[in-house]
Amino acid sequence: MAETPAEQLLHLVLGGELKTLGGHEFKDLDKIDIVGVYPNYATAYTAWKAKAQQTVDNAHMRYFIVHLHRLLEPDGKPHAP
């Protein structure tokens, strides 16, 4: 019996040094680290965790997971090209 492929829910992992500890504004946009785009949350989380652990000594360095699938389909419905 063939398996049904999982739905592709794109996630972007990126990070960089923040201006302030509690904020989301990057200090230098030219130095943002684009880690990659992943087909699901689980693989994005693995990539995020690895990068976050590499920069644990810098309190201003943060990595984020962006749910691209939510930006592409904000109402949850696919849009025709």
Domain residue ranges of the chain, discontinuous segments joined by +: 41-81
Per-residue pLDDT tens, the chain, 81 aa: give them: 555 567 789 999 999 999 999 899 999 999 999 999 999 999 999 999 999 999 999 999 999 999 998 887 766 665 555
Q: Is 45 exposed, middle or buried (0-12, 13-18, 19+ CB in 10 A)?
A: middle
The string of DSSP codes covering the chain is -PPPPPP---EEEEEEEBSSTT---BS-GGG-EEEEEESSHHHHHHHHHHHHHHTTT-TTEEEEEE-HHHHH-TTSS----
